[in-house]
């Protein structure tokens, strides 16, 4: 996972993953100014550090490069702010194996009980409209950061986006590589803390959209 100033959350996120049986946890500290690096390392993760903040997409690029170098069979991407549930990983894996998929995206919008703030629904709707306009298929949650990739996807998806537009770019490039993509409903929790992260205003959303168009 890519993390920026997540010192207050990162230990708990890693602990929950470990409680589900996941031992190989990699954190890219994307130029944090707090103690994210130290806490992630203390929690038992392998920690890599960007000397400056490069962006969420840059963090994912670093993880993908490591995955290609070490020939990982699977790679789970998730947010470091605590909004995702570690127990949902098993559902993504089951979906991947049963349908022989290369990339499974955890969708927040396929589970009706998720309480998603209006501002997030608004930005995700815009993200879906833009992304799906350039994709063969319509996806319900193109901006989800909770994703499972298999070996083929790790090897073939080469990202260029350094910002949040990596979510859209990954889907677009996965289709270009003829990879099989699916979605699986996930739970999500939004707190005051997690709402302060990510795309929180119109300009941030506009920059993400523009970055995606630039990559295209």
For the segment 26-66, what is each residue's pLDDT rounded down to a tens digit? 999 999 999 999 999 999 999 999 999 999 999 999 999 99
Residues 55-99: pLDDT tens digits? Answer: 999 999 999 999 999 999 999 999 999 999 999 999 999 999 999
Extract the tokens encoding 101.
């998929």
pLDDT score at 116: 86
- Which helix (H) or strand (E) segment is 13 a member of? helix 10-19
What is the CATH number that goes with domain 2-215?
Answer: 3.90.550.10
CB 175 within 8 A of CB 141: no
Tokens 């630039």: give the residue. Answer: 214
Give CA 216 to chain center in angstroms: 20
φ/ψ of 148, rounded to 5, equals -120, 125
Residues 141-189: pLDDT tens digits? Answer: 999 999 999 999 999 999 999 998 999 999 999 999 999 999 999 999 9
pLDDT score at 213: 63
Q: How many CB atoms lie within 10 A of CB 113?
A: 6
Domain boundaries in the chain?
A: 2-215
pLDDT score at 123: 86
| Euclidean distance between CA atoms 31 and 37, whole angstroms | 9
Sign, CA dihedral 200-201-204-206, equals: positive
| Euclidean distance between CA atoms 131 and 125, whole angstroms | 10
Q: Determine what percent of the chain falls in helix, strand and coil, rounding each to the nearest 5.
A: 45, 15, 40
φ/ψ of 139, rounded to 5, equals -110, 145
pLDDT score at 117: 87
Tokens 């993400």: give the residue. Answer: 208
pLDDT score at 191: 79
Tokens 């707090």: give the residue. Answer: 34
Q: How many CB atoms lie within 10 A of CB 54?
A: 18
pTM of the model as a whole: 0.89
Mean pLDDT of the chain: 91
């Amino acid at each position: 996972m890519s993390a920026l100033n997540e010192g207050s959350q990162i230990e708990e996120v890693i602990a929950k993953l470990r409680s589900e049986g996941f031992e190989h946890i990699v954190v890219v500290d994307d130029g944090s100014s707090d103690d994210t690096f130290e806490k992630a390392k203390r929690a038992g993760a392998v920690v890599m550090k960007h000397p400056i903040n490069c962006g969420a997409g840059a963090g994912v690029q670093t993880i993908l490069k490591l995955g290609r170098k070490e020939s990982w069979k699977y790679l789970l991407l998730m947010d470091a702010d605590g909004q995702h549930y570690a127990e949902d990983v098993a559902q993504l894996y089951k979906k991947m194996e049963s349908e022989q998929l290369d990339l499974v995206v955890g969708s927040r919008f396929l589970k009706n009980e998720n309480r998603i703030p209006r501002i997030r629904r608004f930005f995700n709707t815009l993200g879906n409209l833009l992304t799906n306009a350039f994709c063969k298929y319509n996806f319900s949650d193109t901006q989800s950061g909770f994703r499972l990739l298999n070996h083929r996807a790790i090897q073939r998806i080469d990202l260029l986006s350094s910002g949040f537009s990596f979510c859209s770019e990954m889907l677009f490039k996965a289709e270009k590589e003829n990879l099989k993509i699916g979605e699986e409903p996930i739970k999500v929790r939004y707190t005051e803390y997690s709402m302060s992260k990510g795309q929180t205003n119109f300009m941030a959303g506009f920059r993400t959209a523009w970055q995606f168009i630039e990559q295209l």
